[in-house]
Amino acid sequence: MKTSIIKSYAKINISLNVVGKLQSNLHKIESIVTFINIYDLLSIKQTNLKKHKISFRGKFSKKIGKKNTVSKLLKELDRRNLLKNKKFNIVISKNIPQKSGLGGGSMNASSLLNFFLKKKIINLKEKTLRNIADSIGSDVMLGIKPKSIVLFSNKKLVQIKRKLNFHILIVKPNFGCSTQEIYSGVKIFSKPQFNSLKKTIQNKKKLFILKNDLENVVYKRYPVLFRIKLFLLKLPNIKFVRMSGSGSSMVAYFDSKKAADIGAKISKKKFNSYWCIKSKTI
């Protein structure tokens, strides 16, 4: 088998409402999720080794342990004997920072699972696919088809057919946020808002007034993120600013590349020691 190189795109939460808790103690959320043109690269090759080999390289590869989303996925597929004793050498070039709210690790697992499906290395029914994805991480199912989607509180996923066409600027300070820690701070739940898909996205401007419920928790623990948001909100031609996931990335949204370029130039002067990068929704 030749080496395959695949892209594992970062996701951003345009909105995120925490609407309750499940019996499993996980939180029920609804979210509008899209993907951006920033990605990790996965190099995949079948091997004659007796065990899978997973390695990480790149700027954001430090402190990734042997137990990670990709190793968990392979272990689960082996447990179900879905790979039929095939072993793989996987090298992941990390361009997405850890604990940034951009879903880097989860999307690595999603991308690998999707690769196995497309290459017909495995064959899964929808229910089994979801069970496997959910056993790895709550975000993994979102990346099986990296399109703009609405996640409803009942876990239903509905694709947004229209392109969102946002140019974005991401500012992430030199620390990450623990998803478990941030969700544990949620004490008040929102009412579900996405019962009607058309009402949610038929007017792009409606996206401007949505929110991320986790911001209130994060700002109490990390006030610097609130200060970043206030700065970004003053950029010329800004449409809105929102934290992605549980942080620590703050995302500024623009309608044009020119506006994003200007915003990036200003922000890089202010936050010259932070990860500050432009991108676009795909």
Enumerate residues 6+ apart whose C-beta is below 8 A from 202: none
Q: How far is CA 13 from CA 45, 213, 245, in A?
A: 32, 11, 6
Q: In what order do the strands lie in the sheet with 240-243?
A: 240-243, 250-254, 167-172, 275-280
Catalytic residues: 11, 139
Q: How far is CA 197 from CA 148, 200, 201, 210, in A?
A: 13, 5, 7, 14
Calculate helix-pair angle for 104-118, 69-79, nearest 10 degrees.
Answer: 40
d(CA 94, CA 86): 25
